[in-house]
Structure 1
C-alpha cells in the first residue's frame, strides 16, 4: 500500500516538540517530564511503523477513533483538554491550514500521553519503591498502541491502559452517577437541625424530616417504595431511620438512624464535591501497580478499613473486612506504601521506637521512677540483654542511646496478642491491641503510625492460609498468653496502604470518608481540579 510522503524521524521529533509546547488547559503548558516522555514514545512509534501516517488519510475513521478515545478521558476523571482534544478536532476539520503530518503526529502524541496517564496517573505517586515481586507484567504504551492499530482495536485502548482492578471500574461507574446527580439535583442547600429535645421517637412528625427524606432519596438510601409507605412526609418513620443508617454506614458515621449534626453535615456535602473525591480516587488507584494474582491485604487509611482477599480465587467471595486504627493526623500519620508481610509474631514484645522513647518514655520516667515496672516494660541493651538499672542509670542510658525500652508480652502490651510484620524502613506494621474499645470510635487516627486491626485472629488465619496446621482453634490458642512465637509465611503477602476518601464497595455502594490527613486539597491542586 502506498502512503503519502511523511517526515523523517528527526523532523517527527521537532514537530512533536512544537506541538506539545502549545498551551493546553487554562493556558498551562505540559510539564517537561511529560513532554520528554511523550516525545520519546512518539519517535519510537513512528520508527517502528516505518515513519508512515497512522491516523490520517483514507476516510478519516482512524482519526475519529482517536478523538473519541481522547474524549473518553472524561469518564476516567481526566480532562480531555489536557490532550488538546478541541484543538485536534479543529485541525482535522481544517487540515489544509495545519498539514496532515502535523495532525498525525499530534494525534499520536495525545493518545500516548493519555495511555500513560491512564496507566500510572498524572501526578507521580507518593509510594516508595514498589517490590518487583508483587508487580504484574510491564505496560508499554507504544506497543499497546501498535497492537491496537494492527488489530483495529483503538476504541478498547482506554480500558486496556486503565487499572484492571474491579475497584477502579466500580469507582468509574460511581463517578458517572454522581456527575449525573450533580447536574440534575440543582442547588444543594445545607439542612437545618431538627428541632427536638432528646432522642427522636419513631412515628412522630418533626420539622426538617421532609428535607432529610428528599436528600436520602436523591442519594439512593431511601427508595421510592419505602418513602411512599409513610403518608405524612414529616414523620420520622422506621423506613427513614433505616435509610439514615444506610447513609451513616456509607459515610463512616455512628449508625444510630438519627439525623444528628454529623449526619446532616455529611448530607449537606454537594455532589460536585463527591465528584472531586471520586476523581482523586481514580488518580490514586492509577498509582498502584498491576498486582500479581494471589492474596492481598489492603488498608484504606481515611476510611479506617482493612480488606483481605485472594485475587486469584473466587471473584464472588466476600473479602475479609474489619475496622482499623491508623496514625494520628496531628503527629504520626501512617504513610502510604506497599509492603510485604513476611511473618507473624504471637505474644510479641513491643520494641519502643526511639522517637517515642525521646518524646514520651524519658519524660515519664523522669517523673516516675516506677514507670517501666508499672507498664510491664524493661530496659534492654543494644545487644538484647535485660538491664537492671536504677532511675539515674536508666535515664542516662536511654538518653545516650546505649539502651532501649521494650514492653513484655501480656495483657497490657500495646501490640496485643499478634504482630503482622512487613519489614520496612519506616517500621510500620499491623498488630492487634489491648485497647479494643477504641474501634467503636468514629474517628480512629489514634496510633503512632502502625495499624491496629479489629479482628486479629481472623486476619492471622487468612495470612497463614493453612487450615491443617493453623485452623481457627490453633490460631486462637497461639494468641493466649505465653512465650513469643514467630511464624514465617510460606509466601510474602502484599500489604497495600492507600489513601482514598471515596470508594465503591462490591455492592455498588459509594463510601465516603473524611480527609483526615488533608491530602485531597494538595492532589486536587496538582490536577488543577476546581
Structure 2
C-alpha cells in the first residue's frame, strides 16, 4: 500500500476526533493500513493469523469478493445495535463503530478482510454473552455445574445461521430457551418507556404519623396529601384501572394538587382531601402482591419505599434477571425442582410429550436467614427421600444454640426428643454435662428423633451437596403465612411436602399419596432411593413475569448488588 492508498482509507473512515475513542474498529483499520504502508506484508497486522485463518477456512462472511456489504452484514449490525433489548450494552460489541466502518467503501482487500473479521469477532462475542452471560457465576460463588459444561459454540452457531443468510437464527439459538426470557424482554422494553415518566417527577410526601406512635403509615379510611400522585403511579404500573377515581370525602387540610394529575379523578371540595379507600386500596394490595409484600392494603415504610422506586431502577433489576437466566441451568431434565430464594417459592416443572414445559407444583418455602445463614446457590440431583427423618444438628447450631439452651433448660432435651451419638455410632439418651462438653469438643453430636417436634417434620428430600442443604417438612407451619420467609439455618422448609413427594416419586409403582402419608406418619426413619434422580436448582431472581404481571422481590442476600459491582468492574477493565 502506498501513501495515496493510506490517505484514501483514512478518508473512507469517519474523521478523527472525540468519536475515535468509541470506534476501535476504525483505529484498527488505520493502524493496519499504516503497518502495511510501512512494512508491506499483511503479517504486520496484530490480527493477521486470525484473519488468514478465517479467509482460508471460510472466506469472508459479510462482504463479497469485491468488498460490497452483504445483506446478512446489515442484519448482523442491526442485531448488535439491538443488544440493549436483551439487557446488554451495544458498545461492548462496538456496534456504532462497526456500523460506521461498513457504511463506507473499502479501499483494498486487506482492509475488507480486517473489517469482515472484526464483525465476526464482535458477533461471536455477542452470541457468547447472550448465552453464557458477561459474568462467570462461579466468581459470585454460584455453584452451577451444568452451566460450566454447556457445549454451546458461538462460532458454530454463527456459521449455521449464515448458511441460511439469517444471523438472527444464531441469536435465537443463543438466548435461554425459556418463555420467561421473552417475557422479561417485554417487561424491559415497557419499563424503559416509563423512564422519566412525570408520575415519578415528584417524591411521595411523608406518610401520616399516628398520634402517640413512632410509626408512620396510611391505613384505609385515612386521608393523605399524596393520594393523587399515588394513584397516578399505580395507573401507570397497571395496578389501578384507568377509569378508577380517587374518592373524595371530608378530611384534613387542603392541598394545591388535588386530582390535577389524574384525568377523570374526582376533585375534592374546599378544605377536603381524598380518603384512601375503595379501588385505590385494592390497587395497593395488587402492588404489594407484585412486590413480595404482605398484601394488606396498609402503606407502611416498606410499601412506601417500593412505591418510590423509579422505573430506571426497575430497568436495571430486569437486566440483572436476564443476565442470571443466561447462566442458570434451567430445564436440564424431563423433570426439575426450582427454588427461587428471594421469592420464597418452590416450583416443580415437567416437560410434556409435545415439548411444552408445564408447572406441576408451586409451594411456599422458608429459606436461610439473610443475616447469617443464607441458603447457597447450586444445582444437584435429588436422589433420596427420608421418611420420618432424624435431624442431625449441625455442629455450628449445636455450639451456638442447642448446647447453651440445654444448659439453661435441661428439660428441653427430653421434650424435643434429643439424643447423643458418639463417634462410634453409639447412642446415649441421658443428658449430662460431660456429654455436652463432648459435643463442644467434636467427640459427640446431638440428633433429634422422629416425632411431632422434629425440626425436619415428617419428610426430607436429599440431594447430596457440600453444604448439606436439603428440602424438608416442618412443624413450624405458621411461618408460611408471612410475606418474608428467611428464617431457617440454610435448609429449605416446604409448605407442600406431600405434593412434592408425589412429583418426585412419579414412575415408582405403589407410591401414591396414601402410601406417602402413611410413611410420613410411621415415626420410624426409612430412606427411599429414587428410581430417577430429579435435578434441584437453588436459584436467585428478584424479577419474575407471570402472565401479564411483573413481580419484583427484595434483594435479600445482596446478590443483585454484588452482580452489579461485577458488571461495573468488567466495564472499567474493558475501558482501560
Counterpart of 2:167 in structure 1 is 154
Cα distance, 1:467 vs structure 2: 8.8
SS of the equivalent of 1:380 reads strand
Of 217, 235, 245, which aligns to 2:285? 245
Cα distance, 1:341 vs structure 2: 1.0
Cα distance, 1:136 vs structure 2: 9.5
SS of the equivalent of 1:247 reads helix
Of 393, 410, 425, which aligns to 2:434? 393
CA contact (8 A) 1:414 1:434 kept: yes
User: Could you tell me how far apart the structure 2 residues matched to 1:44 and 1:402 are?
Assistant: 65
- Aligned ranges for residues 509-528 of structure 1 at < 5 Å? 509-528=549-568
Counterpart of 1:176 in structure 2 is 189
CA contact (8 A) 2:501 2:516 kept: yes
CA contact (8 A) 2:339 2:346 kept: yes
Of 86, 98, 104, which aligns to 2:116? 104
Of 233, 258, 282, which aligns to 1:215? 233
Counterpart of 2:151 in structure 1 is 138
- Aligned ranges for residues 256-335 of structure 1 at < 5 Å? 256-289=296-329, 291-312=331-352, 315=356, 317-335=358-376
1:444 maps onto 2:485 in alignment: yes
User: Could you tell me how far apart the structure 2 residues matched to 1:290 and 1:482 are?
Assistant: 36
Q: What is the aligned residue count?
A: 493
CA contact (8 A) 2:418 2:429 kept: no
SS of the equivalent of 2:453 reads coil
Unmatched segments (≥5 aa) in structure 1: 1-21, 27-38
Cα distance, 1:131 vs structure 2: 5.0
SS of the equivalent of 1:224 reads coil
| Residue 49 to residue 492, structure 1, CA distance change in 2 (3 Å) | farther
Of 50, 55, 60, which aligns to 1:53? 60
User: Could you tell me how far apart the structure 1 residues matched to 2:516 and 2:192 are?
Assistant: 47
Unmatched segments (≥5 aa) in structure 2: 1-19, 25-45, 211-216, 248-263, 268-273
RMSD: 3.1
CA contact (8 A) 1:168 1:282 kept: yes
- More displaced, 381-390 or 442-451? 381-390
Counterpart of 1:464 in structure 2 is 505
- Aligned ranges for residues 316-395 of structure 1 at < 5 Å? 317-388=358-429, 391-395=432-436
TM-score normalised per structure 2 = 0.78
SS of the equivalent of 1:479 reads helix
Show CA shifts across 1:279-318 (max 9, x none): 0111111112363341111111111111112133674854
Counterpart of 1:15 in structure 2 is none
- More displaced, 332-341 or 240-249? 240-249
User: Could you tell me how far apart the structure 2 residues matched to 1:389 and 1:323 are?
Assistant: 38
CA contact (8 A) 1:340 1:492 kept: yes
Cα distance, 1:237 vs structure 2: 4.1
Counterpart of 1:62 in structure 2 is 72
CA contact (8 A) 2:124 2:155 kept: yes
1:113 maps onto 2:125 in alignment: yes
- Aligned ranges for residues 482-493 of structure 1 at < 5 Å? 482-493=523-534
SS of the equivalent of 2:195 reads helix
User: Could you tell me how far apart the structure 1 residues matched to 2:198 and 2:471 are?
Assistant: 42
CA contact (8 A) 1:332 1:449 kept: yes
1:473 maps onto 2:514 in alignment: yes
SS of the equivalent of 1:236 reads coil
Structure with higher RCO (Cα < 8 A, 6+ apart) = 1
CA contact (8 A) 2:351 2:358 kept: no
| Residue 501 to residue 137, structure 1, CA distance change in 2 (3 Å) | closer
Cα distance, 1:165 vs structure 2: 1.2
Of 448, 456, 460, which aligns to 1:419? 460
CA contact (8 A) 1:502 1:512 kept: yes
User: Could you tell me how far apart the structure 1 residues matched to 2:301 and 2:266 are?
Assistant: 23
User: Could you tell me how far apart the structure 1 residues matched to 2:126 and 2:553 are?
Assistant: 29
User: Could you tell me how far apart the structure 2 residues matched to 1:325 and 1:116 are?
Assistant: 35
User: Could you tell me how far apart the structure 1 residues matched to 2:320 and 2:68 are?
Assistant: 40
Of 92, 114, 130, which aligns to 2:102? 92
Show CA shifts across 1:134-187 (max 9, x none): 999721111101101111121232221010011112111111111111144464
Counterpart of 1:13 in structure 2 is none
| Residue 370 to residue 112, structure 1, CA distance change in 2 (3 Å) | same
| Residue 48 to residue 356, structure 1, CA distance change in 2 (3 Å) | farther
| Residue 231 to residue 52, structure 1, CA distance change in 2 (3 Å) | closer
CA contact (8 A) 1:420 1:430 kept: yes
- More displaced, 414-423 or 92-101? 92-101
- More displaced, 79-88 or 122-131? 122-131
SS of the equivalent of 2:440 reads helix
| Residue 107 to residue 387, structure 1, CA distance change in 2 (3 Å) | same
Show CA shifts across 1:412-448 (max 9, x none): 1111111111111110111111111112223221111
User: Could you tell me how far apart the structure 2 residues matched to 1:349 and 1:48 are?
Assistant: 66
Counterpart of 2:16 in structure 1 is none
Counterpart of 1:12 in structure 2 is none
SS of the equivalent of 2:484 reads coil
User: Could you tell me how far apart the structure 2 residues matched to 1:122 and 1:201 are?
Assistant: 46
CA contact (8 A) 2:54 2:117 kept: no
CA contact (8 A) 1:195 1:207 kept: no
Cα distance, 1:194 vs structure 2: 4.8
SS of the equivalent of 1:242 reads helix
| Residue 24 to residue 524, structure 1, CA distance change in 2 (3 Å) | farther
1:225 maps onto 2:250 in alignment: no
Cα distance, 1:226 vs structure 2: 3.7
